[in-house]
């Protein structure tokens, strides 16, 4: 007599006897319901590439997957170009020893520009603050990035910032004015106050960028602190320029 297929399977299972029996019973009872297959996923090498892209700031899982697919589908040259650009930037880029901006030589283009020597020195929190100010087109002096702002609770004191370098620079370059272009949060205020006190004994003309309404912002929706500062920082209006001030003309 031919062996019943169920008995055959039961005999040939390599699990322990009692456990395999109970599993077999359950499977037999549910044989109409297919066992859920393992979810299909990309091969490990692709998933690893996606994981690496996800580590980049602002890149979520879907974007990481799209970038990885784009790279793999593009001609080889594109991946190689990207790799070469990353390697070149990492090898070439450095921090300007004077101002802290990005440079390919010891000093950045702004610090090497002799036409800017002895003019205003604009102090900013971070090197990435320099380009937005530069793009306004109204400032023709030099910059100094502090590399952060005073924040004792986060363990950031004057020694952690490029404040000693600033003092040395002011002493050597004797700028016509030091402009504090720092944020208006508590740490920005504390840093500006600290720097103003440090620079005052040297007879340096220290100013701070004005605070007020943002472009496109109405008075109705501004908060009280902003309105208070906007009123306090008001200036003579002429030729479309508040105060009529331009750099290098006193
Ligand atoms: Zn520089």
pLDDT in tens, 114-163: 999 888 999 999 999 999 999 999 899 999 999 999 999 999 999 999 99
pTM over 0.75, yes/no: no
Which residues have a beta carbon within 5 Å of ligand 1, which is an ion? 96, 98-99, 101, 108, 111
CA of 143 to the centre of ligand 1 (A): 7
Band of pLDDT at residue 237, cut at 50, 70 and 90: confident
Band of pLDDT at residue 9, cut at 50, 70 and 90: very low
CA of 110 to the centre of ligand 1 (A): 6
145 in a structural domain: yes
CA of 162 to the centre of ligand 1 (A): 13
CA of 245 to the centre of ligand 1 (A): 25
CA of 98 to the centre of ligand 1 (A): 5
CA of 158 to the centre of ligand 1 (A): 21
202 and 130 within one domain = yes
204 and 125 within one domain = yes
129 and 74 within one domain = no
127 and 79 within one domain = no
CA of 186 to the centre of ligand 1 (A): 27
Most confident of 62-76, 138-152, 225-239: 138-152
15 in a structural domain: no
Tell me the average pLDDT across 87-97. 96
CA of 100 to the centre of ligand 1 (A): 6
125 and 174 within one domain = yes
The least confident of 18-22, 84-88, 108-112, 213-217 is 18-22
243: nearest Cα among 207, 219, 218, 216 = 207
165 and 86 within one domain = no
126 and 70 within one domain = no
User: Does residue 187 carry a pLDDT above 70?
Assistant: yes
CA of 126 to the centre of ligand 1 (A): 12
CA of 243 to the centre of ligand 1 (A): 29
53 in a structural domain: yes
Q: Residue 29 burial by CB count (10 A; 0-12/13-18/19+): exposed, middle or buried? A: exposed
pLDDT of residue 10: 45
Which of helix, strand or coil describes residue 209? coil
198 and 135 within one domain = yes
Tell me the average pLDDT across 173-179. 93
Residue 61: which domain range?
A: 44-92
Q: Measured between alpha carbons, how far is residue 119 from residues 36, 60, 195 in Å? A: 73, 44, 19
User: Does residue 22 carry a pLDDT above 70?
Assistant: no
Q: What is the 3-state secondary structure (H, E, C) of 8-52?
A: HHHHHCCCCHHHHHHHHHHHHHCCCCCCCCCCCCCCHHHHHHHHH
Specify the pairing of strand 237-238 against strand 241-242. antiparallel
224 in a structural domain: no
Beta strands in 137-184 (DSSP E): 142-145, 178-181
Query: Contact, 59 vs 67, CB < 8 A?
Result: yes
CA of 112 to the centre of ligand 1 (A): 7
Q: Per the structure, how many domains does the chain have?
A: 2
Read off the CATH number of the domain in which 65 is found. Answer: 1.10.8.420
2 in a structural domain: no
Residue bearing the bigger pLDDT, 84 or 217: 84
57 and 128 within one domain = no
61 in a structural domain: yes
234 in a structural domain: no
Band of pLDDT at residue 31, cut at 50, 70 and 90: low
205 and 126 within one domain = yes
User: Does residue 41 carry a pLDDT above 60?
Assistant: yes
User: Does residue 250 carry a pLDDT above 50?
Assistant: no
100 in a structural domain: no
68 and 141 within one domain = no
Read off the CATH number of the domain in which 140 is found. Answer: 3.40.1360.10
65: nearest Cα among 84, 83, 86, 42 = 42
């Amino acid at each position: 007599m031919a062996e019943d297929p169920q008995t055959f399977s039961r005999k040939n299972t390599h699990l322990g006897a009692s456990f395999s029996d109970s599993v077999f019973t359950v499977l037999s009872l549910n044989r109409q319901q297919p066992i859920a297959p393992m979810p299909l996923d990309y091969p490990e090498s692709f998933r690893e590439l996606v994981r690496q892209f996800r580590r980049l700031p602002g890149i979520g899982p879907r974007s990481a997957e799209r970038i990885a697919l784009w790279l793999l589908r593009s001609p080889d040259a594109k991946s190689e170009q990207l790799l070469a650009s990353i390697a070149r930037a990492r090898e070439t880029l450095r921090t300007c020893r004077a101002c802290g901006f990005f440079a390919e030589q010891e000093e950045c283009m702004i610090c090497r520009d002799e036409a800017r020597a002895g003019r205003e020195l604009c102090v900013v929190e971070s090197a990435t603050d320099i380009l937005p100010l530069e793009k306004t087109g109204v400032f023709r002096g030099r910059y100094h990035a502090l590399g952060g702002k005073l924040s004792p609770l986060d363990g950031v004191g004057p020694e952690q910032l490029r404040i000693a370098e600033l003092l040395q620079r002011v002493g050597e370059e004797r700028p016509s004015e030091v402009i504090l272009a720092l944020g208006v949060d508590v740490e920005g205020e504390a840093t500006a106050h600290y720097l103003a006190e440090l620079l005052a004994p040297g007879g340096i003309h220290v100013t701070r960028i004005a605070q007020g309404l943002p472009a496109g912002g109405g008075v109705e929706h501004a908060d009280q602190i902003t309105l208070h500062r906007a009123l306090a920082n008001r200036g003579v209006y002429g030729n479309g320029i508040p105060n009529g001030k331009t750099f290098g003309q006193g």
